[in-house]
Structure 1
């Protein structure tokens, strides 16, 4: 069993990913793939459990946001968990629900809002949990030691359900894909630092300053490269952040900020206008239609940003805690001999 943990800021996009089909596939492609693979690419998601929430993606998002307000400081209230069985293994839906509950308990969200969803578009059974880190008591579930906790949980579940022990996601890959390079700590750190810097910047100059405070020298030409404190140079394109992508993200963030500023400005003007009309006629005038259009545009921009900024876990990604666990087992075996 392989587990994955991530946190984020957008309930809407995490819930949408869990509940919907892959957006890049047309209906014809879904039908063709379903016939070829004997898998379910159309309506791939089945909700196994709603915990303290209900409804479609819009209703769930609003419910999660309402509870999020109980904690004012949280920047990333979304917890996204996934568990994937080894090839050839399967469990009943009741067992998958039990596993989802065990996962929720391990990460401190058993009493929080979450949905547990089964995806049917891959040969390996896997479930997703989209959860609110903020509980009804206003407390926030910790995300510390998440790799280690997930690895320990997977080993325990494997024993409990008599599943194959899987220490590396590479077990799911073809022989060709296994030849790809393994997890690179330096590149993974750079990828995380770039993403964090972009979250705090709307201008390129601010982004570059953010990277400098993280210990990098930035070289910008036709592309972009970063030199860390060990004098190692890495191209942005090698970690999924080319210059074009960085500039696109910053441009979208500027557009989003401009829309929000305009909406706030219009909201203030509309309030003054409504107060004036109400004072003269005793009735108020609404401008909800304009606000709704601006909000739709904001959601579209946020959606594009989410896709550009979300963590990229390719086939060669291996959790560092799992690698450490393999090394510990090898050491213990050699000592016993």
Structure 2
């Protein structure tokens, strides 16, 4: 089970999101998606419980605002809690109601206004709790250590309902547990998609276009970040592919392409320069042909060597743990010459 906690200033927007279908989906698109994944994209939300409130999004918003007036000092009175099961887990609606009540109790809103809503448009069952942090007594629910409290709550609920155990965020683990390897399927998928895209892209624009086709939104600034279809943002540096590394790989590929192009042009020029005049003797023509074949073979061999070298560098760059240690021999020679000159001046 994975939990999420957030606070905000708008009752209306949070309640609307919990009660309505996704706004970006048309009615036709909802039908198509339902046919594909057999999930409920139309009328996806089912209210499991109204706690000290009732009605539609407009009525709920008015009720929340009325109670919020009891504490003018709070800037963010909206509390939004989410609890999501692992794909293999499933609970009944009554069990979700119980979980919603335990969650409300943990965050001090059991006696406040809140709604508990089940969403049916994902393979992982999940509920949303939209709550008023301001109680009828004017007191405001404390939001300190909210992520730690949510992580501890999820671990308790997993044991109570026999759910699949999920590791808590590292910040809330013991020093020993933090050393255990953690698998993040979302980051692993992004890493694999970036590696596959870099194999085919020949420019940054091409790379960004292909990533968008895979469903990612690409944010480029001083660094690079990717937002997947679940609206989760991941920095490229977190998975070993910073903006500098991506641009370096694409630059190496462009260099390899240019070298191969130059070699092909050289071969074509040599082929075009072959003599065709009939006055040359047969022996001389055969000798020149052998010489031309030898030169062409040398060019091909040189081209193969260039490709091997560049692909070797690209292979290392495609590894996120790669740190370049290559030094140009020409730079070394120049450095030695400068040292000798410096020694002579002394």
Q: In the TM superposition, what is the alpha-carbon distance from 1:171 to its structure 2 partner?
A: 5.5
In the alignment, the residues of structure 2 paired with residue 224 and residue 87 of structure 1 have an alpha-carbon distance, to the nearest angstrom, of: 33
Cα-to-partner distance string for 1:309-337 (whole Å, 9 max, x where unaligned): xxx950659xxxxxxxxxxxxxxxxxxxx
Q: In the TM superposition, what is the alpha-carbon distance from 1:176 to its structure 2 partner?
A: 1.6
Q: Name the residue aligned to 1:147.
A: 147
Cα-to-partner distance string for 1:210-269 (whole Å, 9 max, x where unaligned): xxxxxxxxxxxxx997xxxxxxxx45x7599xxxxxxxxxxxxxxxxxxxxxxxxxxxxx
Q: Name the residue aligned to 2:84.
A: 84
How does the TM-score come out when normalised to structure 1?
Answer: 0.54
Residues 178 and 139 of structure 1, relative CA distance in 2, 3 Å threshold:
farther
Conserved 8 A contact 1:70-1:134: yes
Q: Name the residue aligned to 2:102.
A: 102
Cα-to-partner distance string for 1:112-164 (whole Å, 9 max, x where unaligned): 00000000000000000000000000000011001100000000000000101
Q: Name the residue aligned to 2:299.
A: none
In structure 2, list runs of 5 or more residues that go unmatched: 170-182, 195-218, 236-346
Q: Name the residue aligned to 1:22.
A: 22
Q: Name the residue aligned to 2:341.
A: none
Rg larger in structure:
2
In the alignment, the residues of structure 1 paired with residue 46 and residue 115 of structure 2 have an alpha-carbon distance, to the nearest angstrom, of: 10
Q: Name the residue aligned to 1:34.
A: 34
Say whether 1:44 aligns with 2:44. yes
Cα-to-partner distance string for 1:15-65 (whole Å, 9 max, x where unaligned): 000000000000000000011000000000000000000000000000000
Conserved 8 A contact 1:178-1:316: no
In the alignment, the residues of structure 2 paired with residue 224 and residue 94 of structure 1 have an alpha-carbon distance, to the nearest angstrom, of: 45
Q: In the TM superposition, what is the alpha-carbon distance from 1:177 to its structure 2 partner?
A: 3.5
In the alignment, the residues of structure 2 paired with residue 116 and residue 130 of structure 1 have an alpha-carbon distance, to the nearest angstrom, of: 7
Q: May I ask how many residue pairs the two structures share in their alignment?
A: 196
Cα-to-partner distance string for 1:74-110 (whole Å, 9 max, x where unaligned): 1000000000000121000000000000000000000
Conserved 8 A contact 1:86-1:172: no
Conserved 8 A contact 2:40-2:120: yes
The structure, 1 or 2, with the larger RCO (C-alpha pairs under 8 Å, 6+ apart) is 1
Residues 68 and 178 of structure 1, relative CA distance in 2, 3 Å threshold:
farther
How does the TM-score come out when normalised to structure 2?
Answer: 0.53
CA-based RMSD of the aligned residues comes to 2.7
Q: Name the residue aligned to 2:116.
A: 116
Q: Name the residue aligned to 1:314.
A: 232
Q: Name the residue aligned to 2:320.
A: none
In the alignment, the residues of structure 1 paired with residue 192 and residue 142 of structure 2 have an alpha-carbon distance, to the nearest angstrom, of: 36
Cα-to-partner distance string for 1:267-314 (whole Å, 9 max, x where unaligned): xxxxxxxxxxxxxxxxxxxxxxxxxxxxxxxxxxxxxxxxxxxxx950
